Structure 1
Amino acid sequence: MIRTALPAEADVVTALHARARATYYPDGVPQDGTDWIAAWRGAIERPDGHVLCVVDGGRITGVASFRTAEGAAADTVKLFQFHVDPDHWRAGIGTELHRACVEEWSADGKRTATLDVHVDNRRAQAFYARQGWVPDPENAPAEGDHHLFLRYAVPGK
């Protein structure tokens, strides 16, 4: 089942986020002082944002956070976070979650989606490519940046 995440689930979402990110940081997830529970709770509670989660057997196994980014065109949505619990990779959860995001974007009149992905996260890059994401021609990475910027054409209704 895919549904909107609840503020009370911020700690569970944060734990899933940490497990997923740990898979592509060879030296461990950088500690930058971010209070991720507060950040996820804020994302869930934002009136202009959306956090979808996949619930399987009573457990959250996937999560996606998106909204119109500040300064972006009204018909463009930014996918800020997209994670599947590593214990559930290759089970179709990511594909179903992505499909739910696209359905919501289309219903909201979005024409373009953007995201950035860590350069070392080859698994995610391959996943996004399979879903139809391409390098963003308007947003090439700066020298030393550790992210690739991708763009997706949201199918119309």
Structure 2
Amino acid sequence: MSTADTSVRVAWRADALAIATLQAAAWRERYGPVLPPELVAQIVPELFEEKWAASLDRPGDARNRVLVALEHSTVRGFAVTAPSTDDDADPVADGEVSELTVSPAHRRAGHGSRLLQACADTLRADRFLRATMWLDASDDAMRGFVAATGWAPDGAHREVDPVGDGVVRLKQVRLHTMLVGDDD
């Protein structure tokens, strides 16, 4: 019996293209049904690569982390942790998972679970007490996956405008989890 060589680590600048490629594929899948085809066609890795490279070289906060899920040496997913940017957040106690993406072709292989656990461990190491995550209200699969690991809605919701023109509005719900238990 052989086991897959899988892991999660902090992303390096050399991972920028792989992360951008995953983000473009995920955004085409996510926004494809709601955006005009000409806009979906513009969602390409080059749109994101330089921003990822700059972010990996110079994070805005020492607690901004980009994690990558690897299979052998190939990036299969990525996640971003940071201090929460929500208006009602405690900047010391609340961290967030602002992105959790796994390659559509490599889902259900454990990469998402490893990334989510690494996010919780990273936020805990950065001394956050609670973690939040915004999910599209219609993404039942992602919500079910995250809820199965102990995350729950906290009653907050919002609408986001991914294009910036007010035509497409996505409803999102916020989930949260405590990072410390009663014995911590």
Question: What TM-score, normalized by structure 2, do the two folds share?
Answer: 0.73
Query: Which has the higher Rg, Structure 1 or Structure 2?
Result: 2
Q: Does the 8 Å contact 1:63/1:97 carry over to 2?
A: yes
Amino acid at match of 1:4: V
- Corresponding residue of 2:14: 8
Residue 146 (structure 1) aligns with: 171
- Give the superposed CA RMSD: 2.5
Q: Which runs of 5+ in 1 are unaligned?
A: none
- In the alignment of these two chains, the number of paired residues is 155
Instruction: Work out the CA distance in 2 between the residues paired with 1:64 and 1:142.
Output: 22
Render the CA deviation track for 1:91-132: whole Å, top value 9, x for unaligned: 111111111111122222211111111223222111111121
The answer for the alignment partner of 2:165 in structure 1 is none
User: Compared with structure 1, are the counterparts of its residues 12 and 99 closer, same or farther at alpha carbon in structure 2 (3 Å cutoff)?
Assistant: same
Return the letter of the residue paired with 1:85: S
Q: What are the within-5 Å matches in structure 2 for residues 30-109 of structure 1?
A: 35-45=47-57, 46=59, 47-48=61-62, 49-70=64-85, 72-73=89-90, 74-109=92-127
* Paired residues of 2:81 and 2:123 also in contact (CA < 8 A): no
Alpha-carbon separation, structure 1, partners of 2:14 and 2:114 = 24
User: Separation in 2 of the partners of 1:80 and 1:41?
Assistant: 17
Decide which moves more: 22-31 or 64-73: 22-31
Query: Any unmatched runs of 5+ in structure 2?
Result: 1-6, 161-168
Code of the residue aligned with 1:109 in structure 2: it is R
